[in-house]
Amino acid sequence: QMYRTSVERVSFNGTKATAERINTWCEKVTRGRITELVTE
């Protein structure tokens, strides 16, 4: 399945915040099917 979305720059210095941001996006676009794509 393809998800049409945009690309964003993120900082990997603040790993916890970045992981939360990615996972929140992933959960939203997959409608809750994938809740944790990355970890800290």
The tens digit of pLDDT for each residue in 1-40 reads 777 778 888 888 878 999 999 999 999 989 999 999 998 8
Residue 19 confidence (pLDDT): 92
Domain-embedded: residue 17: yes
Q: For residue 19, is it within any domain?
A: yes
Give residue 25's domain range. 9-35
- So what's the pLDDT on residue 33? 97
Q: Dihedrals φ, ψ of 5, to 5°?
A: -150, 175
First vs last C-alpha separation in the chain:
26
Q: What pLDDT shows up at residue 29?
A: 87
Number of domains in the chain: 1
* Structural domain contains residue 29: yes
> Rounded to an integer, what distance in angstroms lies between the CA atom of residue 29 and that of residue 23?
10
Domain membership of residue 1 (yes or no) is: no
In a domain, 22, yes or no: yes
Tell me whether residue 16 is in a domain: yes
